[in-house]
Amino acid sequence: MVERPHKPSSLPNTAAAAKSAGPQPTVDISDDNSRITARLPSGESLTVLLYGATVVSWKNADGTDNLWVSEKAALDGSKPVRGGIPVVFPVFGPPPSNHATSSLPQHGFARNSRWEYLGKSTSEASAEPEASTTGTTADSSVKLDFGLSSSNLSPEARAAWPYDFGVVYSVTLGPNSLQTAVNVRNVGDKAWDFQVLFHTYLAIKDISKTHLTGLLGVTYTDKVLNASTATESNSKLAITGETDRVYKAIPQSTTTVIVDDKPRFDVIRDNLPDTVVWNPWKEKAAAMGDFSPDDAYKQMICVEAGAVADWTKLEAGDTWEGGVTCKSLL
């Protein structure tokens, strides 16, 4: 069994104990049934579109949003969202022509399918007497579960990838942290393989004052330079132009985003060996119709944990899971 030091712990459903507990997280479904919003008593919040199960907001208690979303992002389900955290499955990038995913759109169907909201669970903070002056405890995190399966795919997606699967996507909001994880099941009688990635757009103040640590010595494919292969030689990676790199089999679990010489985010992978680092820079940003404003590339960086350098094979009846925890270090 693979050792997973960052495997998420399960959250017990505390609904039955709500009467004896302190302030509880609130979970609201929008009037048009398009999005779910969760808030912690401490002030952190999270919003997830059912279209793509896309996280479009993750705010700290002070209201600072840790995610970047384009001003022209489509939030009505007409196309994948430019920003937030789109879910990439079962293929990353343009599908290869000689593969079972070849008829799928770029990045697969998860980010442009409507997911089902499966419910919430919560975990309590410490019950030590000093933790509360009232003798009750507040819930310190809330987990939202979303489901997608072959039975609720569009006819087009089902025809393009006719395999039987089930995915449960869990999004957990905690104090200064956001955890996203998928459980992928092969519920059919044939083996199939897949790729998965969390396409996370992190909000930053200034790309010129930003660098990444945790990638030194890692081999990567540089998509900007004709998919050439190189080894990262910088202990502090600066972004100085269009960047689109797939870092493979990273031995260190954490990549840190540093802004103004201060740690801003920790991105901690669980059973995800790879990370994509992406920024479109000036020319490409201006050429993208849903990227706005044009100079917003200065306020975002994508640090995308995934399993995309190779394929993961899932035999009939088997299950695979992996995820990532982002910590806001403000």
* Residue 249: CB atoms within 10 Å: 10
**Torsion sign over Cα 97, 101, 104, 106:** negative
* Residue 178: CB atoms within 10 Å: 22
- pLDDT of 14 reads 46
Q: What is the pLDDT of residues 83-123, one digit of tens each?
A: 999 999 999 999 999 999 999 999 999 999 999 999 999 88
- pLDDT of 4 reads 67
- pLDDT of 79 reads 95
Helical segments of the chain, H only: 155-160, 281-287
Backbone angles phi, psi at 152, to 5 degrees: -115, 20
What is the pTM assigned to this prediction?
0.91
- Rounded distance, CA 280 to CA 239, Å? 10
- pLDDT of 225 reads 97
Catalytic residue among 199, 211, 232, 321: 199
Q: With a cut of 70, list the residues of the chain below it in pLDDT.
A: 1-5, 8-21, 124-139
- Are residues 316 and 189 in contact, defined by beta-carbon separation less than 8 angstroms? yes
- Rounded distance, CA 323 to CA 171, Å? 10
Backbone angles phi, psi at 234, to 5 degrees: -105, 125
- pLDDT of 3 reads 59
Class of domain 15-328 as given by CATH: mainly beta
Catalytic residue among 44, 124, 232, 304: 304
- Rounded distance, CA 38 to CA 29, Å? 9
- pLDDT of 21 reads 56
- pLDDT of 143 reads 98
Clarify whether 232 is annotated catalytic: no
Show me where the domains of the chain are located: 15-328
Clarify whether 107 is annotated catalytic: no
